[in-house]
Amino acid sequence: MPDTPPDRLSNDPRSPYYDAEALKRDIGVRFKGVEKTNVEEYCVSEGWVRVPAGKAKDRYGNPLTIKLTGKVEPYFKDDEK
């Protein structure tokens, strides 16, 4: 596994951008300089994150998400220690 997080990552196993190996390493995300703990998916090259929109659910029980644009900085939390 490389020392840099993937460009795009999702925590939904149904997504083509899901990577279990990367998620095992505990990835943190800074969005616009602020640590975010509720990120569902991110893309560094396109500059966006998806976060849940409150407690709203779709008809399948999945959280509704909104896309926020800005500077995205993913990092491995185990590298900070």
Please tell me the predicted confidence (pLDDT) of residue 3: 81
Determine the Cα–Cα distance for residues 18 and 8; give it in Å rounded to an integer: 9
Please tell me the predicted confidence (pLDDT) of residue 31: 96
Please tell me the predicted confidence (pLDDT) of residue 81: 52
**Cβ atoms of 32 and 71 closer than 8 Å:** yes
Please tell me the predicted confidence (pLDDT) of residue 65: 95
| pLDDT tens for the 81 residues of the chain, in order | 568 899 999 999 999 999 999 899 889 999 999 999 999 999 999 999 999 999 999 999 999 999 999 999 999 987 665
DSSP run (H or E) holding 21: helix 20-24
- 10 Cβ contact list (under 8 Å, min separation 6): 17, 18, 40, 41
| 3-class DSSP state of 22 | helix
